[in-house]
Chain A
Amino acid sequence: MYVLRRVGIYLFSVVVASMLVFSVMSVLPGDPAQVMLGTQATPAAVEALRAELGLDRPIPVQYFDWLSGALRGDLGISVFSGQEIAPQVASRLRITLPLAVMAMVMTMLIAVPAGMYAAVRHRRLGDTVVTTISQIGLAIPAFWAGLLLISTFAVNRGWFPASGFPGWGSVGQALRALFLPALSLAVVQGAIITRYVRSAVLATMREDYIRTARSKGLSRSAALWKHGFRNALIPVLTILGLQFAALLAGTVVIESVFVLPGLGSMLLQGITRRDLFLVQGGAFVIVAFILTVNLLVDLAYRFIDPRVARR
């Protein structure tokens, strides 16, 4: 029942999100057909293209046509290049998604040990140091962190490329090109997640089963590792899902800093070229992705902690 209800909410959310994306873009001043053909085009030619693109039909018909196409993987044709949008989005996702996943892995590698260390050293120097650093991390814009990392590790030391992406032909080179962008995102996300891990571990350490484990002779850290860690990660998992949205949004900005040809760069190009369908398609894919990740996290949460379904 819980799964069905959650999937129902997900489908409703996807439809409402598609309506929002479509309605925002349909108030665009100017005519995509005119943009496509240029200012020299005759009115007859513009009208013919409008008919070909289906822009002369009522808005609700256009919406249902666009949505049904999008659900089948057809996002229409780019006004600028005249090529299909879906393959372009798929090719851009081959950079954006690995970047987001890499950033998420780095975030966990920073946040889990730091948050646990702060919780174990609660109200001692170690806790204060971690909390202060995470507070500073929260205030840093990821794109500024990116610029500083470029200056330090790309320009001054030459360890990583400052910009560009060589493609997945050489996996090592590709990962090297994504390392600094992912680290820029992880520095900020890590600061946020560290606070949640710390709070979750502190809450878990007050539970009766930890006290029981301690009374059986287990040390504080042994009790935490054996019994507390898995339970502490349950609330963190939800936050990770929510933060994935922030991470995907972050890739839009970071791709601009490191000149990566990902989905974010595609959206910005779409704005510059006033490519209505491209922005519409790219934005819908990002939102659908975020909603899907939220659904998966909720379902995973239900299996990790069955009490959620009962509630």
Chain B
Amino acid sequence: MSRWRRFNLIVGACLVLLVMLTALVSFVWTPFDPARVSSTERLLGVGVNGHVLGTDQFGRDLLSQIMVGSQTALFVGLLAVGISVAVGIPLGGVAAARRGWTEDAVMRISDVIYAFPPVLLAILLVAAVSPGITTAMIAIGIAYVPIVARVTRGAALSVFELDFVSAARTYGRGKTFIFVRHVLPNIASVLIVQVTVLFALAILAEAALSFLGIGAQPPRPSWGRSLRDAQTFIQLAPRLALWPGLAIGLTVLGFNLLGDGLRDALDPRLEVRRS
């Protein structure tokens, strides 16, 4: 693994750890109550009155809001990716194990769902149900099912051709057993990398949905909604848009770098091919 790739892995892991720690700490401590409104402390600058990043138009502490916002980002990422993994891996596995018309049907339907971007799926679900973090998570999760199914199928197909799988078949093992016991552990590295990248995409999608007002709803703090609020004050206090955007950017960058680094660490052959 080259020094550059190792650097990516370390920086990515540090950024992800930082966000996770921030989220954990925010459960027990924030500099101020993130929901506390103060008419005398509206739009304070950086460092004024102990507000490290300043305050917003309601006098709420920006750092506290960003700290609690990390909970929302990670929570949505975790559950949305959980949904796509829980549905996508079995679908991809069935397609690879059964082949024929089952594979065709799974892949064609995956292609159709792939044509629904997360934002569009969320708009449809919100129109049908109601806006909120649950709707956002479900929409993002469903939108990424085809990606997980496709990656699982692609990786599993090559493993199903290997000798040890043929040996398991001669022992009379069923396809489900072979997939869970022999194929899944062999494609785990590919899936771990994919999950890391999807996590980044889910955080971006949640931020976009909250920005549109169809994701996290008040009083739950969200980086996307903070940016939505900042839009109104872009002329008066452009810095309001800076901090939540940086929080999203650094978190996504962290997951992307971690994904890249893990890809090389878990499968060094890729780096040889890439170079």
What is the interface of chain B, defined by CB distance below 8 A to chain A? 4, 108-109, 111-120, 123-129, 131, 200, 204, 207-208, 211-214, 224, 227, 230-231, 234-235, 238, 241, 244-245, 248-250, 252-253, 256-257, 274-275
A276 within 8 Å of B (CB atoms):
yes
Say whether, besides A16-B109, A144-B248, A147-B231, A274 and B241 are in contact (CB < 8 Å): no
Residue from the list B112, B116, B249, B253 in contact with A144, Cβ < 8 A: B249
Set of chain A residues within 8 Å of B127, measured between Cβ atoms: 25, 28, 270-271, 274, 276, 279
A139 adjacent to B120 (CB under 8 Å): no
Segment 97-118 of A: residues with Cβ below 8 Å from B: none
Set of chain A residues within 8 Å of B123, measured between Cβ atoms: 252, 267-268, 271, 279, 283
Closest Cβ of chain A to B191, distance in Å, is 21
A151 adjacent to B234 (CB under 8 Å): yes
The closest CB in chain B to the CB of A289 belongs to B115
Say whether, besides A147-B231, A271-B214, A249 and B119 are in contact (CB < 8 Å): yes
B108 adjacent to A256 (CB under 8 Å): no
Q: How far is the CA of A151 from the CA of B129 in the complex (A)?
A: 35
Set of chain A residues within 8 Å of B212, measured between Cβ atoms: 252-253, 256, 268
Inter-chain residue pair count (beta carbon < 8 A): 134
Closest Cβ of chain B to A274, distance in Å, is 7
Set of chain B residues within 8 Å of A175, measured between Cβ atoms: none
Q: How far is the CA of A29 from the CA of B128 in the complex (A)?
A: 7
Set of chain B residues within 8 Å of A199, measured between Cβ atoms: 274
A147 adjacent to B249 (CB under 8 Å): no
Say whether, besides A147-B230, A286-B120, A135 and B253 are in contact (CB < 8 Å): yes
20 contacts between A and B (CB under 8 A): A9-B111, A12-B108, A13-B115, A16-B108, A20-B113, A24-B124, A128-B4, A141-B204, A143-B207, A143-B208, A144-B244, A147-B231, A147-B245, A148-B245, A151-B241, A155-B235, A162-B234, A249-B118, A252-B120, A291-B115
A248 within 8 Å of B (CB atoms):
yes
A135 adjacent to B256 (CB under 8 Å): yes
Q: How far is the CA of A141 from the CA of B230 in the complex (A)?
A: 15
Set of chain A residues within 8 Å of B256, measured between Cβ atoms: 135, 138-139
Set of chain B residues within 8 Å of A279, measured between Cβ atoms: 123-124, 127
What is the interface of chain A, defined by CB distance below 8 A to chain B? 9, 12-13, 16-17, 20-21, 24-25, 27-29, 123, 128, 135-136, 138-141, 143-144, 147-148, 150-151, 155, 162, 199, 245-246, 248-249, 252-253, 256-257, 267-268, 270-271, 274, 276, 279, 283, 286-287, 290-291, 294
B253 adjacent to A147 (CB under 8 Å): no
Q: How far is the CA of A254 from the CA of B138 in the complex (A)?
A: 23
User: 4 other contacts beyond A144-B227, A150-B234, with CB at 8 A cut-off?
Assistant: A9-B108, A25-B124, A123-B275, A140-B249
Set of chain A residues within 8 Å of B113, measured between Cβ atoms: 20
Set of chain A residues within 8 Å of B238, measured between Cβ atoms: 151, 155
Set of chain B residues within 8 Å of A276, measured between Cβ atoms: 127
Q: How far is the CA of A9 from the CA of B113 in the complex (A)?
A: 14
The closest CB in chain A to the CB of B239 belongs to A151
Set of chain A residues within 8 Å of B227, measured between Cβ atoms: 141, 143-144, 147
Q: How far is the CA of A16 from the CA of B207 in the complex (A)?
A: 29
A138 adjacent to B128 (CB under 8 Å): no
A253 adjacent to B252 (CB under 8 Å): no
Q: How far is the CA of A28 from the CA of B135 in the complex (A)?
A: 14
Q: How far is the CA of A238 from the CA of B135 in the complex (A)?
A: 31
Q: How far is the CA of A156 from the CA of B248 in the complex (A)?
A: 24
Q: How far is the CA of A24 from the CA of B71 in the complex (A)?
A: 29
Q: What 7 A-B pairs come out closest when comparing CB atoms?
A: A249-B117, A144-B245, A139-B253, A139-B252, A151-B238, A279-B127, A147-B241
Closest Cβ of chain B to A48, distance in Å, is 25
Say whether, besides A25-B128, A246-B117, A283-B120, A136 and B249 are in contact (CB < 8 Å): yes
Q: How far is the CA of A279 from the CA of B115 in the complex (A)?
A: 16
